[in-house]
Amino acid sequence: MYVAVKGGEAAIANAHRLLADRRRGDRSVPALTLSQIAGQLALAVDRVMAEGSLYDPELAAMAVRQSRGDLIEAIFLIRAYRTTLPRFAATRPIDTAAMVIERRISATYKDVPGGQVLGPTFDYTHRLIEPEMAEDAPVAAPARRDPPEDAGHAPRVTDILGDEALIEADGEGKGAEPADLTRTPLAFPASRDLRLQALARGDEGFLLGLGYSTQRGFGRTHPFVGEIRIGEVEVEVDLPEFGFPVVIGRVRVTECQMVSQFTGSKAVAPKFSRGYGLVFGQLERKAMAMSLVDRALRADAFDEERRAPAQDEEFVLAHCDNVQATGFVEHLKLPHYVDFQAELELLRKMRKAAGATDETVSGSKGDVEVVQ
């Protein structure tokens, strides 16, 4: 029997009204402003931009506010927003070597040209909650030091190793248009450009867990952080109305060059291999996790057997998107009354066939719920 279910409009409207009330909270407390969110919860905003796959700090701050700080909900809002807009162009690839550096560290070379620059990091803090966070205590201005003449010259560590041919090169930069999973559904096997796009917008927690798994032996890669750099890069677009490329602004990105153990053959001398992480915003953990997973997914390139989850392209790429994941997991809470009734009927038949008594079958509450 099919039972049509209607109703709920008033309940839904009132639920959303209640949501708006709870989101606003105590009216005697000032409402959050977008500049407060973008300025003081900047890393939450960065995560929403990276996984929402849309760089727009103000919009991401709106999404964080609307979602009450539920970042996956905020990411969902950003993804939905972007579908309403036309795409005008693709930019020229950003040049991370020309970044205005805000942080740059290498775990492989102490005396790397350009130096080890810590920037605004949580590293080396004690991870103890500071009592000052309970109040609006004055904050000192940052220390300053005159940069040397060649400031800004910080070659990518992988380029330094590359000069000695100790590390695999970046590969050729020419060829076809890069794959775009926003236009064409994922297909396997995936090219590296498609994988990098998927990972760049993938869920930080999922990729962190996978990256961690490679360190614990599920697809070992013996990684070192060749370099992490954070800072702003120029966005340059070729516009037909001009006929030449123009800079339209800057975006902040985090790049991680993970250097992994050797690969070689009789014909080719052993070299370090590499994994690459690049994300919008200041998201070091995400960039590191991405670079570990990128390296693990390159198993074929190094004749490695794919045995661990992090090496399984379909497993990783099909599940790293938290908007897709939340859609499918959370849809389970929507009404499944009819589906469930079918299962109940089936179960009754099975139990009857197995000789269970009528008494244990009938009178269950399940019948009642189905008819609402």
Partner 1 sequence: MTDDPGRRAEAEKRGGARRRTVSAFAQAGAGFLSEAWDRLGAGRTVAVIRGPETGLVMVRGRAGGGGAPFNLGEASVTRASVRLDGETVGHAMVLGRDGERARLAAAFDALWQVEAARGAVEREVVAAVEAAIASADRDRRAETEATKVDFFTMMRGED
Instruction: Scan residues 148-187 and list those touching partner 1 (CB under 8 A).
Output: 148, 151-152, 156, 158-159, 169-175, 177-182
Q: Is the CA virtual torsion 169, 173, 176, 178 positive or negative?
A: positive
| Rounded Cα distance, 200 and 320, in Å | 10
Q: Helix, strand or coil for residue 106?
A: coil
Output 257 or 322, the one with its CB closest to partner 1: 257
* Nearer to partner 1 among residue 196 and residue 210 (C-beta): 196
Q: Give least dist CB 86 to partner 1, A.
A: 4
Contact 202, 290 (CB under 8 A): yes
Nearest distance in Å: CB 77, partner 1: 14
Closer residue to partner 1 (CB): 45 or 50 = 50
Q: What is the DSSP letter of 264?
A: -
Q: Which is nearer to partner 1, 61 or 341 (CB)?
A: 61
Give residue 261's Cα distance to chain centre.
25
Site mask for partner 1 (CB under 8 A), range 132-151, x = bound:
----------xxxxxxx--x
CA nearest 251: which of 92, 66, 84?
Answer: 92
Cβ closest to partner 1, residue 201 vs residue 341: 201
What is the closest distance, in whole angstroms, from the C-beta atom of residue 356 to partner 1 in the complex? 56
Nearer to partner 1, 92 or 307 (CB): 92
**Is 197 near partner 1 (CB under 8 A)?**
yes
CB 114 within 8 A of CB 155: yes
**Which long-range contacts link 166-173 to residues 24+ away (Cβ below 8 Å)?**
166/271, 166/272, 167/259, 167/271, 167/272, 167/273, 167/274, 168/263, 168/271, 168/272, 168/273, 168/274, 173/93
Of 196-204, 216-224, 328-336, 339-347, the segment contacting partner 1 by CB under 8 A is 196-204
Please, what is the minimum distance in Å from the beta carbon of residue 291 to partner 1?
10
Q: Which stretch binds partner 1 (CB under 8 A): 21-29, 202-210, 273-281, 331-339?
A: 273-281
N-term to C-term CA, the chain: 14
| Distance, CA of 138 to CA of 87 (rounded, Å) | 44
- Using CB under 8 A as the binding rule, the residues of this chain from 35 to 94 that contact partner 1 are 49-50, 53-56, 58-59, 82, 85-94
Q: Which of residues 290-309 bind partner 1 (CB under 8 A)?
A: none
Select from 43, 66, 115, 166 the one that contacts partner 1 (CB under 8 A): 115
Q: Which is nearer to partner 1, 21 or 58 (CB)?
A: 58
Tokens at residue 120, please?
Answer: 């605004």
CB of 369 to partner 1, least distance (A): 44
Q: Give residues 339-358 in contact with partner 1 (rule: CB under 8 A).
A: none
Cα gap 96→157, rounded to integer Å: 12
Closest to 278 (Cα-Cα) out of 53, 44, 40: 53
Q: How far is the CB of 26 from partner 1 (least distance, A)?
A: 31
**3-state SS assignment for residue 134:** helix
Cα Rg of the chain (Å, integer): 26
| Contact mark string toward partner 1, 227..266, x via CB under 8 A | --------x-xxx-xxxxxxxxxxx-x-x-x---------
Q: How far is the CB of 34 from partner 1 (least distance, A)?
A: 12
Q: Could you give phi then psi for residue 259, rounded to 5 degrees?
A: -105, 125
Residue closer to partner 1, measured from CB, 136 or 146: 146
Nearer to partner 1, 181 or 338 (CB): 181
